[in-house]
Amino acid sequence: VTADSQAILVPHVEDDPHAGHPAQGVNTALLGMLLFIGSELMFFAGLFGAYFNTRASALGLGQPWPPAGLENVVEPSIVPIAATIILVLSSGTMQLAVWRIRKGDRRGMNRALALTLIMGIAFLLMQAYDYLNFVTQDGFGINSGVYGSLFFTMTGFHGAHVFGGAVGIAVVLLRGMAGQFSARHHIAVEAVSAYWHFVDIVWIGLFATLYFLK
């Protein structure tokens, strides 16, 4: 018996090797995701701040906003409205996936995840279609003055986040199809769900700001 064996043998936490207090509070991995979402929120807050700062400067100088010649480029037409509805609904199907796996229904979760993934991809395709129209028909791009820079940077980074969320959904879907989740073990699904809701909420803010408030 060496000195090392003097360890007091302590309870074995099997579920989560990193949880100090296994039964208490939010899961450590989920907490990590929520904190990450907090920092992502501040990233978009920086972009929103830039938008409102620029808008206020222009209005303060008595200039029109959106700038002259670009007043009617960004309009809530059928495609962005449909894309918005799809993204909001996909938040619902994402939550459905979480509810299904909490009940232990793997098949139901997989179906809901697949549906969410399809809706996420649909949103991205519609955004791409919108971009294409802006650039080809309106001649409106990221270099169309500060307004274009703001519009494409804000929606572009949001699109990148939707893409990241879609990759996350694809990963949990593959893991779900491999049977890796159960009613007790599905923290990845919860985390991806939280991220997807965040991406959805940011879009609602962007849509309201860029398409209606202007």
Partner 1 sequence: MATTTLAPRAGVYTGRRSWIYEWLTTTDHKKIGAMYVTTAFGFFILGGIFALLIRSELAIPGVQFVDPETYNQLFTIHGTTMIFLFVMPMMTGLANFVVPLQIGAADMAFPRINALGFWMVPLGGLLLYSGYAVGGAADAGWTGYAPLSEQSGAGVDLWIAALVLLGFSSILGAINFLATIFKMRAPGLTLMRMPLFVWNTLVTSVLLLFSIPVLTSGLMMLFIDRNYGGGFFDPAQGGNPILWQHVFWFFGHPEVYVLILPAFGIVTEIVPVFSRKPLFGYKAFVFATTAIGALGFTVWAHHMFTTGAVYLPFFSFFTFLISVPTGIKFFNWLATMWGGKLKIDTPMLYAMGFIALFLIGGLDGAFLAVVPFDFHVQDTYWVVSHLHYVLVAGSVFGIFAGLFYWFPKMTGRMLNERLGKIQWVLLFVGTNLAFFPMHLLGLDGMVRRIVDYAPNPGWTELNFLSTIGAFMIALSVIPFLWNVFTTLRLPKTAPDDPWDGYTLEWATTSPPPPYNFDVLPPVRSERPLFDLKHGAVAARGVALPAVAGTTHDETRADPPEEVLGEPVEGHSPQAEAGDVQPGVSAAAPDAIAHEDRPTTATETTSSVTDVPPKEPKK
Binding site for partner 1 (CB under 8 A): 1-13, 17-22, 25, 28-29, 31-32, 35-36, 38-47, 49-50, 53-54, 57-58, 63, 67, 142-143, 145-150, 153, 157
Q: Residue 30 Cβ, how far from partner 1 at the closest point, in Å?
A: 10
Q: Which is nearer to partner 1, 32 or 104 (CB)?
A: 32
The angle that helices 78-102 and 145-177 make with each other, rounded to 10 degrees, is 30
Q: Which is nearer to partner 1, 46 or 104 (CB)?
A: 46
Q: Which is nearer to partner 1, 133 or 149 (CB)?
A: 149
The overall longest dimension of the chain from CA atoms, in Å, is 84
Q: Residue 187 Cβ, how far from partner 1 at the closest point, in Å?
A: 13
Q: Which is nearer to partner 1, 29 or 124 (CB)?
A: 29
Q: Residue 109 Cβ, how far from partner 1 at the closest point, in Å?
A: 25
Q: Residue 197 Cβ, how far from partner 1 at the closest point, in Å?
A: 18
Q: Residue 53 Cβ, how far from partner 1 at the closest point, in Å?
A: 5
Nearest CA to 144 out of 77, 61, 69 is that of 69
Which amino acid belongs to residue 25?
G
Contact 54, 84 (CB under 8 A): no
| Cα 120 off chain centre by | 10
Structure tokens at 124: 């991205």
Q: Which is nearer to partner 1, 62 or 179 (CB)?
A: 62
Q: Which is nearer to partner 1, 6 or 137 (CB)?
A: 6
Q: Residue 205 Cβ, how far from partner 1 at the closest point, in Å?
A: 14
